[in-house]
Chain A
């Protein structure tokens, strides 16, 4: 049983690193010498105040922090009003994966750029509305892969956990004694070996 790590992202979290790689728009408030490299469309050495750029979230949050922010951050478009309206209308019909794979993770950073708190509300509303649907999905043994594809990364994880738990419950209900099994990694290792063999076999033909 894996240990439940806290939801708040830790330093080593691969998912948090990937989520903060997603971009957010921002406007430079000051001139930044030698940072023209951040703007691939211009070939100047310095970066001028007033330049609009889309930069990774990790950099935007760092630059927007402090008493003299270097940039004024803006919401990525999927959290702006037009998109919020779509989510408010019918969140469960939305292909969230298309919005952004890290819809909630990125949103939890983006929400600090929105003083009115509307992004936060819409994140919560979206999750609540879609959660029941995910539970239904996880409960059903027939899995339609196209439905899963519409889930964001967090939802997909919840779906997988739920699906596994359901499987375990079934096992427990039907089978009384537990079988000892080869370790996960050992099984995967064997599978990979088999694939390698098959591939080399084909190659020889």
Chain B
């Protein structure tokens, strides 16, 4: 991983304070750290995770602010180059995060739609943002209408929705624990005699994703 630390950038410090006056105060470095974590989790988790758009919006605000500052620098100013590279890196971080989510939404569209609908009916927090959900609906609709057009000679079946493309939640992931967690059940694909494992703070291990999905969503561990 590239080091994206920006902790001693004073301009940013000010930017953040403007942004976050009503919320809890986060330093730019903390925002970037949160974004990095969200990005890695999303990149390595097989399924789509609860969105982190508060962090995304915050970082996008920072980027805009930094770019404005760069504009004001003399083009010969050495700092300009350094700042521009930093901005580019941050933008990559956000874009890559958003792209990964869009990719998952497209690939598992019907599966995610089903899960989100269940969350809505149960009144739980949704994993997708409003605009992602809109994209999901539009995307499914675009498939629907395409299939309708190519099978216009008869009534199209809905079979494809009953056997959707689903993520492989049994795939293995590398994780690092942020705190002590006791009694993680190791899922070995069978229901009998499951082993337990305790995680120490900072310990790293490779494990089946569905054993730790909830811990990732809660933020007790993160993927690496």
The interface of chain A, by Cβ under 8 A from chain B, is 1, 3-8, 10-12
Contacts and interface: CB of A to CB of B under 8 A. Distances in A.
B160 A5 contact: no
Interface in B72-128: 103-104, 107
Interface of B: 43, 46, 103-104, 107, 159-160, 162-171
Contacts of A5: 107, 165-168
Contacts of A3: 46, 103-104, 107, 167
Nearest to B104: A3
B103 A10 contact: no
Contacts of A12: 160, 165
Contacts of A11: 159-160, 162-165
Given A6-B166, A7-B168, A12-B160, 15 more contacts: A3-B103, A3-B104, A4-B46, A4-B168, A5-B165, A5-B167, A5-B168, A6-B165, A6-B168, A7-B170, A10-B163, A10-B166, A11-B159, A11-B160, A11-B162
A1 B39 CA distance: 14
B65 to A, nearest CB: 28
Contacts of A10: 163-166
10 contacts: A3-B167, A4-B167, A5-B167, A6-B165, A7-B168, A7-B170, A11-B164, A11-B165, A12-B160, A12-B165
B55 to A, nearest CB: 22
A183 B194 CA distance: 45
B107 A8 contact: no
Say what secondary structure dominates the interface of chain A: loop
B159 A4 contact: no
A8 B165 contact: no
A1 B165 CA distance: 17
A128 to B, nearest CB: 14
B102 to A, nearest CB: 11
A27 B183 CA distance: 52
Nearest to B157: A11
Nearest to A8: B166
A4 B163 CA distance: 17
Nearest to B171: A4
A3 B209 CA distance: 14
Nearest to A13: B165
A105 to B, nearest CB: 16
Contacts of B171: 4
Nearest to B165: A10
Contacts of A4: 46, 167-168, 171
B208 to A, nearest CB: 12
A86 to B, nearest CB: 28
B118 to A, nearest CB: 19
A20 to B, nearest CB: 13
